[in-house]
Homo-oligomer: A and B are copies of this chain.
Amino acid sequence: MKPPISRFPVPALDSLPDDVRRKMLEVQEKAGFIPNVFLTLAHRPDEFRAFVAYHDALLLRESGLSKGEKEMIIVATSGANRCLYCVVAHGAILRVYEKQPLLADQIAVNYLKADITPRQKAMLAFAMKVCTDSAAVGEADFAALREHGFSEEDAWDIAAITALFGLSNRMANVTSMRPNDEFYLMGRVPKAKT
Chain A interface residues toward B at CB < 8 A: 3, 7-8, 43-44, 46-47, 49-51, 53-54, 56-58, 61, 79, 81-84, 87-88, 101-102, 105-106, 108-110, 112-113, 115, 130-131, 134-138, 152, 155-156, 159-160, 162-164, 166-171, 173-176, 178, 181, 184-185, 188-189
| Distance between Cα atoms of A171 and B112 in the complex (Å) | 15
Contacts A82-B109, A84-B113, A156-B44; is A134 near B167 (CB within 8 Å)? no
Number of copies: 6
Q: Once the chains bind, are B134 and A105 in contact (CB under 8 Å)?
A: no
Chain B nearest CB from A179 CB (Å) reads 8
What residues of chain B lie closer than 8 Å to A7, measured between beta carbons?
152
A167's partner among B88, B166, B174, B184 (CB-CB below 8 A) is: B166
Not counting A47-B58, A50-B57, A163-B166, a sample of 18 additional A-B residue pairs whose C-beta atoms are within 8 angstroms of each other reads A46-B53, A46-B61, A47-B57, A50-B53, A82-B110, A82-B135, A83-B110, A83-B134, A83-B135, A84-B105, A84-B113, A87-B109, A105-B184, A108-B109, A130-B173, A156-B174, A159-B175, A189-B189
